[in-house]
Amino acid sequence: MAPPLLRQLRDDPLGLGRAARSKRSERLTPRTATADRVVQSICPYCAVGCGQKVYVKDEKVVQIEGDPDSPISRGRLCPKGSASEQLVNGPSREHKVKYRRPHGTEWEELDLDTAMDMIADRVIATRAETWEQETDDGRPLNRTRGFALLGGATLDTEENYLIKKSFTALGAVSVENQARI
Ligand code: SF4
């Protein structure tokens, strides 16, 4: 048998086929081949909005790849988008609400109902304290500048729609999204 270098030059000069395989890699099956279904989605990380194919097995996300059908990205993902499976399955993903009290130095874990009640109480109180009904010369304002929203790029279109509607209904005038900045 010819030495490995000669075999590669003869059979697989680019090193993309047989030369790159081992006995172990030949036994492996990609997660994309064993998924139950594929769902088209959009990378949540930035405003480019690259198309993604999300591979699902047993109702769990197992792999995310670029979507060749996307006119935006044509199958490509940057390193962040390529790693977005970790956004779902990564061990450092937070599953509990973290709260740091004013002047606190440690994070506390809160249950979701408690956190939502705290947020609602503060929104109501701030709105009442900072409400501006009209200008000094009597023109209507009906607004508060007491709170604002800065959304993240991981919000999807529907979430952004609902957030904008909710904050405008509350009288907030400062509503922005990181993806637009
Ligand atoms: S793959 Fe990269 S460039 Fe594309 S939307 Fe995601 S973060 Fe933005």
The 10s digit of each residue's pLDDT in 122-155 is 999 999 999 999 999 999 999 999 999 998 877 8
CA of 54 to the centre of ligand 1 (A): 15
Task: Give a yes or no: residue 74 inside a domain.
Answer: yes
pLDDT at site 20: 83
Q: Measured in angstroms, how far is the CA atom of residue 2 from the centroid of ligand 1?
A: 45
Domain-located, residue 45: yes
Tell me, yes or no, whether 65 and 83 share the same domain.
Answer: yes
If asked whether residues 88 and 62 sit together in one domain, one would say yes
* Token couple for 85: 């499976």
Strand 60-66 relative to strand 140-144, pairing: unpaired
- Does residue 181 register a pLDDT over 70? no
- The finding on whether 35 has its CB within 6 A of some atom of ligand 1 is no
CA distances from 25 to 28, 29, 34 (A): 5, 8, 16
Tokens 């088209």 belong to 40
Tell me the DSSP string of 69-101: T-TTTTT---HHHHTTHHHHH-TT---SEEE--
Which numbered atom of ligand 1 lies nearest the CA of 66? 1
Tokens of 104: 């606190």
Which residue minimizes the CA distance to atom 2 of ligand 1? Answer: 78
Owning domain of residue 87: 35-93
The number of domains in the chain is 2
Q: Whose CA is nearest to atom 8 of ligand 1?
A: 46
Does 78 contact ligand 1 (Cβ within 6 A)?
Answer: yes
38-69 pLDDT, tens digit each: 999 989 888 788 999 999 999 999 999 999 99
Q: Is residue 78 part of a domain?
A: yes
**Are the CB atoms for 18 and 11 separated by under 8 Å?**
yes
| Residue 33: pLDDT band with limits 50, 70, 90 | very high
| Whether 23 contacts 46, CB under 8 Å | no
The answer to the question of residue 14 being in a domain is: yes
